[in-house]
Structure 1
Amino acid sequence: MRSKSSPPKPDLVVLVIVFALIGMVATLAYQIGLYANVERAPIAEQAVAPKDFGG
Protein backbone atom coordinates (compact mmCIF):
# COMPACT_ATOMS: atom_id res chain seq x y z
CA MET A 1 0.00 0.00 0.00
CA ARG A 2 1.23 3.43 -0.86
CA SER A 3 0.63 6.29 1.49
CA LYS A 4 -0.72 9.48 0.06
CA SER A 5 1.99 12.04 -0.30
CA SER A 6 1.00 15.35 1.18
CA PRO A 7 2.69 18.59 0.23
CA PRO A 8 5.52 19.53 2.60
CA LYS A 9 4.55 21.81 5.45
CA PRO A 10 6.20 25.24 5.44
CA ASP A 11 8.99 25.65 7.96
CA LEU A 12 7.90 27.79 10.93
CA VAL A 13 11.22 29.65 11.12
CA VAL A 14 10.97 30.66 7.48
CA LEU A 15 7.42 31.92 8.03
CA VAL A 16 8.51 34.03 11.03
CA ILE A 17 11.44 35.50 9.09
CA VAL A 18 9.20 36.35 6.12
CA PHE A 19 6.60 37.91 8.43
CA ALA A 20 9.29 40.01 10.17
CA LEU A 21 10.75 41.16 6.84
CA ILE A 22 7.32 42.18 5.55
CA GLY A 23 6.70 44.14 8.76
CA MET A 24 10.04 45.93 8.58
CA VAL A 25 9.59 46.83 4.91
CA ALA A 26 6.08 48.12 5.58
CA THR A 27 7.29 50.23 8.51
CA LEU A 28 10.19 51.67 6.53
CA ALA A 29 7.97 52.44 3.55
CA TYR A 30 5.47 54.20 5.83
CA GLN A 31 8.17 56.34 7.42
CA ILE A 32 9.70 57.26 4.07
CA GLY A 33 6.28 58.20 2.74
CA LEU A 34 5.49 60.19 5.84
CA TYR A 35 8.69 62.24 5.92
CA ALA A 36 9.57 62.43 2.21
CA ASN A 37 7.75 65.68 1.48
CA VAL A 38 8.20 67.40 4.83
CA GLU A 39 9.98 70.74 4.68
CA ARG A 40 13.09 70.38 6.75
CA ALA A 41 13.74 72.89 9.50
CA PRO A 42 17.33 74.07 9.90
CA ILE A 43 19.27 72.06 12.43
CA ALA A 44 20.73 75.11 14.11
CA GLU A 45 20.04 78.79 13.86
CA GLN A 46 22.33 81.60 14.76
CA ALA A 47 21.87 82.49 18.39
CA VAL A 48 20.90 85.95 19.51
CA ALA A 49 23.94 87.97 20.61
CA PRO A 50 24.25 87.93 24.38
CA LYS A 51 23.58 91.21 26.14
CA ASP A 52 26.54 92.93 27.68
CA PHE A 53 26.40 92.91 31.43
CA GLY A 54 29.08 95.19 32.73
CA GLY A 55 30.13 96.39 36.05
Structure 2
Amino acid sequence: IDYGDDMEYLEDLVGMLLTNINDGMGLTVANLSKEKENKKVAVKARVSELEDLLNHLKE
Protein backbone atom coordinates (compact mmCIF):
# COMPACT_ATOMS: atom_id res chain seq x y z
CA ILE A 1 0.00 0.00 0.00
CA ASP A 2 1.42 3.39 -0.98
CA TYR A 3 0.78 6.10 1.57
CA GLY A 4 3.05 8.60 -0.20
CA ASP A 5 0.52 11.38 -0.80
CA ASP A 6 -1.29 10.74 2.47
CA MET A 7 1.98 10.91 4.43
CA GLU A 8 2.80 14.28 2.87
CA TYR A 9 -0.68 15.53 3.72
CA LEU A 10 -0.43 14.23 7.28
CA GLU A 11 3.02 15.75 7.72
CA ASP A 12 1.72 19.11 6.47
CA LEU A 13 -1.32 18.86 8.73
CA VAL A 14 0.82 17.96 11.75
CA GLY A 15 3.15 20.81 10.87
CA MET A 16 0.26 23.28 10.78
CA LEU A 17 -1.15 21.98 14.07
CA LEU A 18 2.25 22.20 15.73
CA THR A 19 2.75 25.71 14.36
CA ASN A 20 -0.57 26.72 15.95
CA ILE A 21 0.42 25.07 19.22
CA ASN A 22 3.83 26.77 18.99
CA ASP A 23 2.21 30.19 18.48
CA GLY A 24 -0.17 29.59 21.37
CA MET A 25 2.27 28.20 23.89
CA GLY A 26 5.54 29.83 22.87
CA LEU A 27 7.43 26.60 22.23
CA THR A 28 10.89 26.98 20.77
CA VAL A 29 11.62 26.07 17.16
CA ALA A 30 13.76 23.17 18.42
CA ASN A 31 10.82 21.78 20.38
CA LEU A 32 8.58 22.23 17.36
CA SER A 33 10.95 20.21 15.17
CA LYS A 34 11.23 17.50 17.81
CA GLU A 35 7.45 17.33 18.22
CA LYS A 36 7.00 17.11 14.45
CA GLU A 37 9.48 14.21 14.29
CA ASN A 38 7.66 12.47 17.15
CA LYS A 39 4.34 12.91 15.32
CA LYS A 40 5.84 11.52 12.09
CA VAL A 41 7.08 8.46 13.97
CA ALA A 42 3.67 8.02 15.60
CA VAL A 43 1.85 8.35 12.26
CA LYS A 44 4.21 5.87 10.59
CA ALA A 45 3.72 3.42 13.47
CA ARG A 46 -0.06 3.73 13.16
CA VAL A 47 0.09 3.23 9.38
CA SER A 48 2.22 0.14 10.00
CA GLU A 49 -0.36 -1.19 12.47
CA LEU A 50 -3.14 -0.63 9.94
CA GLU A 51 -1.15 -2.40 7.21
CA ASP A 52 -0.58 -5.36 9.55
CA LEU A 53 -4.29 -5.48 10.34
CA LEU A 54 -5.19 -5.32 6.65
CA ASN A 55 -2.75 -8.14 5.85
CA HIS A 56 -4.18 -10.20 8.71
CA LEU A 57 -7.73 -9.69 7.40
CA LYS A 58 -6.67 -10.79 3.91
CA GLU A 59 -5.37 -14.13 5.22
Q: Which has the higher helix share?
A: 2
TM-score with structure 2 length normalisation? 0.46
Whose Rg is larger?
Answer: 1
TM-score with structure 1 length normalisation? 0.49
**More relative contact order, 1 or 2 (CA 8 Å, 6+ apart):** 2
